[in-house]
Structure 1
Amino acid sequence: MQTRELNGQDAEAYYELRLEALLTNPDSFITTYEQEKQRPNPLKTIAERLDSNISRTFGLFSEEKLCGIVTLMKQTHPKFSHKGDVLAMYISPSSRRKGGAVQLLDELIRSARAFGLEQLRLSVVTENTPAKQLYQKVGFQSYGIERKAIKLPERYLDEDHMVLFLET
């Protein structure tokens, strides 16, 4: 498997994988499949986002097919400019437990260091044990739990907030 930064030309593959993610693991994302499908001009919006200077999205490829994604969002306020957020991590079920997720996060961490970031933050649904273990494996540590962070029609989900301090 290989990783690389995605760009606007990857918008269609990204969108297809994003829809898969929302169907496969709906509790892991704030956006729902229905909301994503209703967005006007999604490919144009995604292409612009993939080409932006504020965020970087990385893809994991198996035999040239996009099978994993993760986004690094740099904080823009000067007092927070040393921080970045890890967003929208997803690996297709057929590509899980093959080392690609660690490879993808390692690429994101290298990029964060190149940007001069000092810490990375993320939130993960507390019940998502495999994701929490993955993040811990690459060095993230929990610094708190937000109770009832996500409200679903029939229940609430708690989120673990995690941080990785990067060596400077």
Structure 2
Amino acid sequence: MKMDIRRMRADEAKDYWELRLEALQNNPEAFASSYEEAVERQNPLEGVATNLERAVTFGAYEGDRLIGVITFVRGSGLKTKHKGDLFAVYVTPDYRGKGVGKALLKEAIDHVKGLSELVKINISVASVNKTAKQLYHSFGFKTYAHEEKALYVNGEFLDEDHMVLFL
């Protein structure tokens, strides 16, 4: 498989939005927002385009097809610019287990390491998502907190693990 990882642009909002809706349907336990809320948004593509300009989102492509994403948001204030968060990590099911998530995470971490004064990256993951937790641990992330009943999905409470990588 030939895969290209690159920073996404605002004009790729439609690709991102379609993958996001897929993610919310396929893995509702992995995201704080819901598919139902997402499809009710007014002008979602405008919002996605704005977010793609503000945050750093890397996309994994096979040819023209977007197959995975990861977003990094840095703290914006004087007291929080030393840290950032990874969000919205997703790989479409047909490409899982093929190194796409690993490549996306590596690209995001390499980008972050080039930022001055950045000390740490945080990520939260559903406790039941053992594959994702294993991937994050392999890059040096450590669990620093376990939040019980963090999400309520399909009539069931899910716990989250909060993880950190010190640079």
When the two structures are superposed, what TM-score results if normalisation uses the length of structure 1?
0.94
User: What letter matches 1:2 in structure 2?
Assistant: D
User: What letter matches 2:111 in structure 1?
Assistant: S
What is the rounded CA distance, in whole Å, between the counterparts of 1:154 and 1:21 in structure 2?
A: 19
* C-alpha displacement of 1:138: 1.6
1:70 is aligned to 2:65: no
Matches within 5 A, 1:88-103: 88-103=88-103
Matches within 5 A, 1:74-85: 74-85=74-85
User: What letter matches 1:46 in structure 2?
Assistant: V
User: Could you say which residue in structure 2 is the equivalent of 1:142?
Assistant: 143
* C-alpha displacement of 1:91: 0.2
* Alignment RMSD (CA, Å): 1.1
* C-alpha displacement of 1:76: 1.1
User: What letter matches 2:17 in structure 1?
Assistant: Y
Partner SS for 1:10: helix
What is the rounded CA distance, in whole Å, between the counterparts of 1:162 and 1:82 in structure 2?
A: 16
Which residue, out of 8, 15, 25, partners 1:6? 8
Partner SS for 1:51: helix
Q: Which structure 1 segments of 5+ residues have no match? A: none
User: Could you say which residue in structure 2 is the equivalent of 1:157?
Assistant: 158
What is the rounded CA distance, in whole Å, between the counterparts of 1:153 and 1:23 in structure 2?
A: 12
User: What letter matches 1:75 in structure 2?
Assistant: G
* Number of equivalences: 164
Partner SS for 2:33: coil
What is the rounded CA distance, in whole Å, between the counterparts of 1:149 and 1:32 in structure 2?
A: 14
User: What letter matches 2:6 in structure 1?
Assistant: R
Partner SS for 1:79: coil
Partner SS for 2:38: helix
* C-alpha displacement of 1:152: 3.6
Note the alpha carbon deviations across 1:109-149, whole angstroms, 9 max, x for none. Answer: 11111222211001101011111111111221111101111
Partner SS for 2:45: helix
Which residue, out of 37, 40, 43, partners 2:42? 40
Q: Which structure 2 segments of 5+ residues have no match? A: none
**Contact conserved, 2:28 with 2:153, CA < 8 A, in 1?**
no
User: Could you say which residue in structure 2 is the equivalent of 1:58?
Assistant: 58
Partner SS for 2:137: helix
* C-alpha displacement of 1:150: 1.4
